[in-house]
């Protein structure tokens, strides 16, 4: 590995500060190739799906993990493997949101959710599927509105998830100790209308 994490983190913070002066919404992550500045162009359906998942999880989390919440952001980091990621949704202790700094220590993260973007599907399906188990995150849900599918990955071991369950829109999806109802999820594009 080249540059150390502290240097990458400093570059990430500079990129973040630079992005604040740009038009549009940008995210900064640290992936296998180092710091990445990416423009976020989330569609309404992407945001609608995240909101449905957050609302459902936030109704259940107080019963299973009092003091935790599901939020979109903040960034999560694992300095030892030099990764910083911004999940679409993350389950973390509510009080971490009051701490100073950019990122939440990954040991605090119970679960992450990503909605596959039409422009860069590999980020969620390949890179993050390698990074999240390496970071030790117990549960990872990938929702793919291109196809109307949901994958739930769990049981990280030796840097990869050892369990995968696949579902389709309409299913009640078990996600860790919670359940996500997908009947109202919308697909991208013209075929995005509800499947009755």
Pairwise CA distance, residues 32 & 20, whole Å? 24
Q: SS3 for 36? A: strand
User: What is the reported pLDDT for 141?
Assistant: 98
* pLDDT of the residue at 41: 62
Please give the C-alpha separations between residue 29 and each of 83, 109, 147, in angstroms, as whole numbers. 8, 17, 26
The chain-wide mean pLDDT, for the chain, equals 88
Residue 19 pairs in a beta bridge with: none
pLDDT at 98 exceeding the cut of 80: yes
Q: Comparing 42 with 175, which gets the higher pLDDT?
A: 175
pLDDT in tens, 151-195: 999 999 999 999 999 999 999 999 999 999 999 999 987 554 554
pLDDT at 45 exceeding the cut of 90: no
Q: Which range (9-18, 70-79, 144-153) has the least confidence?
A: 9-18
Rounded CA gap, 79 and 97, in Å? 19
Q: Looking at the predicted structure, is the pLDDT value of residue 118 above 90?
A: no
How many C-alpha atoms does 78 have within 13 Å on its Cβ side?
A: 20
All structural domains of the chain, each given as residue ranges with its CATH number in brackets, are 42-192 (3.90.1570.10)
pLDDT for res 22: 77
Q: Which residues sit opposite 175 in a β-bridge?
A: 178
């Amino acid at each position: 590995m080249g540059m150390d994490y502290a240097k990458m983190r400093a570059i990430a913070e500079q990129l973040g500060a630079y992005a604040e002066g740009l038009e549009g919404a940008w995210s900064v992550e640290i992936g296998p190739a180092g710091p990445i500045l990416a423009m976020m162009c989330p569609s309404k359906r992407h945001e609608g799906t995240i909101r449905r998942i957050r609302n459902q999880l936030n109704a259940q989390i107080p019963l299973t993990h009092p003091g935790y919440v599901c939020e979109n952001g903040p960034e999560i980091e694992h300095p030892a493997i030099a990764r910083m990621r911004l999940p679409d949704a993350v389950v973390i202790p509510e009080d971490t949101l009051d701490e100073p700094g950019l990122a939440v220590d990954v040991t605090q993260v119970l679960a992450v959710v990503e909605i596959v973007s039409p422009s860069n599907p590999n980020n969620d399906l390949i890179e993050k599927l390698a990074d999240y188990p390496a970071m030790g995150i117990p549960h990872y849900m990938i929702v793919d509105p291109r196809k109307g599918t949901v994958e739930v990955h769990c049981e990280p071991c030796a840097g990869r998830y050892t369990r995968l369950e696949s579902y389709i829109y309409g299913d009640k999806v078990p996600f860790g100790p919670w359940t996500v109802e997908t009947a109202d999820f919308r697909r991208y594009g013209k075929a995005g209308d509800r499947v009755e």
